[in-house]
Amino acid sequence: MDQSTKNMNKLIELNKVTKKFGGITALNKASLHVDVGEVVGLIGDNGAGKSTLIKTLVGVYFPDEGDIIIRGKKVSSWSALKAREAGIETVFQDRALCPQQSIVWNIFMGKELTYPFGFIREKEQIREANRLIREIGFTSKLIDAESPVGNLSGGERQGVAIARAIYNNAELIILDEPTNALSLNETQKVFEFVRNVKKSNRSVLFIGHNIFHVYDISDRFVILDRGEVVHNFSKTEISSPEELMKIMRDTVRKN
């Protein structure tokens, strides 16, 4: 068990959060924290409560019981707006990027840099978008801020969505099944982006079904089972993805 008490480093914490839908307990006293600059892998079978947990973090749900603690401070009210203000951004698999539009358009969508009369500061946006995509790891000379998103691969599109989250001042980026439906190469690209997010001292919560992917990229693993956090391991405690897989299987078998 990870018993770390580095409270200073805790970016966000859910403390014994319970969320019910009618008779269904989707989260049962679930506790989880993400430290600054940490990549946490969240795993669990279908129906384990992963989506409910994410939706709680991003302010779609307020817990029936338990606390949400941001940078050491318990929140008294919670909403999608508050979550964004706290620097929590989600990148969904099917996140609506506009494929006909450019990378820069997609990054700044709805939050354009403008002059006082409302004209868009295009050159500045292009410069900033180029800086952002290089920072998170776009290396191809064929791609720049003005390339249409429609020309990008699945992994690169995830990168654009991550760049947008960073532009929106994200401190915690939640990636929901980011490597589903991606080729090996594309997956490596997403990992590269995630490593760069970590390097910039931001945090990532990585949700995945593929244990090998989650193992590769995470510093810590949290296993959910029927609404409960049943394991919380630092990577140093688990020697291989096979071991993590076995722990997952044993968890499910107990049912």
Ligand X SMILES: Nc1ncnc2c1ncn2[C@@H]1O[C@H](COP(=O)(O)OP(=O)(O)OP(=O)(O)O)[C@@H](O)[C@H]1O
State which of positions 4-43 bind ligand X (CB under 6 A): 21, 24, 26
Q: Does 48 interact with ligand X (rule: CB under 6 A)?
A: yes
DSSP 24-51: EEEEEEEEEEEETT-EEEEE--TTSSHH
Q: Does 47 interact with ligand X (rule: CB under 6 A)?
A: yes
Total binding residues for ligand X by CB under 6 A?
Answer: 11
Nearer to ligand X, 121 or 226 (CB): 226
Nearest-approach distance from CB 113 to ligand X, in angstroms: 36
Residue 139's binding partner, choosing from ligand X, Mg ion, none, with beta-carbon cut-off 5 to 8 A by kind?
none
Q: Give Cβ neighbours of residue 29 (< 8 Å, ≥ 6 apart).
A: 16, 17, 18, 65, 66, 228
Six token digits for residue 6:
């580095």
Q: Which residue has the tokens 């589903």?
A: 180
Q: Does 52 interact with ligand X (rule: CB under 6 A)?
A: yes
Beta strand 88-91 with 172-176 is parallel
Q: Does 208 interact with ligand X (rule: CB under 6 A)?
A: no
* Angstrom distance (rounded) from CA 2 to CA 232: 6
Q: Do residues 146 and 96 lie in contact, with contact meaning Cβ atoms separated by under 8 Å?
A: no
Name which of 104, 15, 2, 5 is nearest 57 in CA terms: 15
In what order do the strands lie in the sheet containing 24-35?
24-35, 10-21, 65-70, 73-74
The stretch among 51-59, 155-163, 187-195, 196-204 that binds Mg ion (CB under 5 A) is 51-59
Residue 49's binding partner, choosing from Mg ion, ligand X, none, with beta-carbon cut-off 5 to 8 A by kind?
ligand X
Q: Does 44 interact with ligand X (rule: CB under 6 A)?
A: yes
Nearer to Mg ion, 43 or 107 (CB): 43
Nearest-approach distance from CB 50 to Mg ion, in angstroms: 5
Nearer to ligand X, 39 or 57 (CB): 57
Name which of 4, 188, 164 is nearest 84 in CA terms: 164
Nearest-approach distance from CB 99 to ligand X, in angstroms: 25
The footprint of ligand X (CB under 6 A) covers 21, 24, 26, 44, 46-52
